[in-house]
Amino acid sequence: ECTMRIYRAKGFEPANLKACSDRMNIALKHHQALSDARACAQLYLIANFFKPYLLFQKIMYIACSIRHS
């Protein structure tokens, strides 16, 4: 399953690897094969197996957005 499609369905916009990695605080050296693969795997695992973590990250993202507006 494509992580871009998973995160787009969750409302992430944009839903590319860099944007999702930044938003989920996942280290990424974009366009370096091993780093891209690790980030993609972490995004996949978070989306499919760590739902509470994803909810926590979304809450923190919203809280930071509100605080900085």
Query: Tell me, what's the pLDDT at 69?
Result: 61
Q: State the sign of the Cα–Cα–Cα–Cα dihedral 54, 24, 64, 11.
A: negative
- Tens digits of residue pLDDT in 30-53: 999 999 999 999 999 888 877 666
State mean pLDDT over 21-32.
Answer: 94
Task: Measure the CA–CA gap between 38 and 13, rounded to whole angstroms.
Answer: 21
State mean pLDDT over 17-42.
Answer: 94
| Average model confidence (pLDDT) across the chain | 86
Q: The whole model's pTM is what?
A: 0.70
